[in-house]
Chains A and B, each alone.
Chain A
Amino acid sequence: SYELTQPPSVSVSPGQTARITCSGDALPKKYAYWYQQKSGQAPVLVIYEDSKRPSGIPERFSGSSSGTMATLTISGAQVEDEADYYCYSTDSSGNHRGVFGGGTKLTVL
């Protein structure tokens, strides 16, 4: 079955740039999406179609994708950005089957 691989954890100091990667064989053909989940809350979409930012998401969140790897970048990370981040994509079968990465715990302190 299709898998997306993320690092379990990333740690930065406030004001630094945090980068979270997501690798998957279908990413050259399929968009990546990124979700932020704070403790006890539902996930929130922060990046869609590799690099687009939904309304209301701060400009410090950006996304990119190259080959089999997608990257979420938080420029000037803030303490309130501490959360779990999940990448998401669909498999290449055309059956709309989705898959999440294992999640990355971002620590900002």
Chain B
Amino acid sequence: EVQLVQSGAEVKKPGESLKISCKGSGYSFTSYWIGWVRQMPGKGLEWMGIIYPGDSDTRYSPSFQGQVTISADKSISTAYLQWSSLKASDTAMYYCARDTTPDYWGQGTLVTVSS
């Protein structure tokens, strides 16, 4: 059974750094792209970017380029989304999803940024 399990909810202050994770199982982790999707409170889905764990090839949406970093550690079948300096506007639910045309999704990680 394909599963994507994300790390737990985070509460951070503006300016802090953060790295959230997404662990894949039940399939060949290095053979499928993993993408990240943002959903701000009460809003729609926004595609952020994807990574191919097999060679770490990474693509970003122009809206998120330079704002976040996507990475992966294929040795532990885990993809990451990180921020170096959070803003209040980063408050959102973040989902990971398998493949460039997402078929399986993680349960989501709620990130709250507040002073």
A interface residue numbers (CB < 8 A to B): 1, 31, 33, 35, 37, 42-45, 48, 54, 84, 86, 88, 90, 95-103
| B71 CB → nearest A CB, Å | 17
Interface assignment of B105: CB less than 8 Å from any CB of chain A = yes
Q: What are 23 sample pairs from A and B whose C-beta atoms fall under 8 A apart? A: A1-B62, A1-B63, A31-B101, A33-B101, A33-B102, A42-B105, A43-B95, A43-B97, A45-B103, A54-B103, A84-B44, A86-B44, A88-B45, A88-B101, A90-B100, A96-B50, A97-B61, A98-B35, A98-B47, A98-B50, A102-B44, A103-B44, A103-B45
B interface residue numbers (CB < 8 A to A): 33, 35, 37, 44-47, 50, 59, 61-63, 95, 97, 100-103, 105-108
A1-B47 Cα distance, complex, nearest whole Å: 12
Q: Which of B33, B62, B107 contacts A42 (CB 8 A)?
A: B107
| Of listed B35, B50, B62, B102, residue having the most chain A CB within 10 A | B102
Contact A48 B62 (CB under 8 A): no
Q: Which of A35, A42, A97, A100 contacts B106 (CB 8 A)?
A: A42
| Of listed B44, B59, B106, residue having the most chain A CB within 10 A | B44
| B113 CB → nearest A CB, Å | 21
A45-B47 Cα distance, complex, nearest whole Å: 15
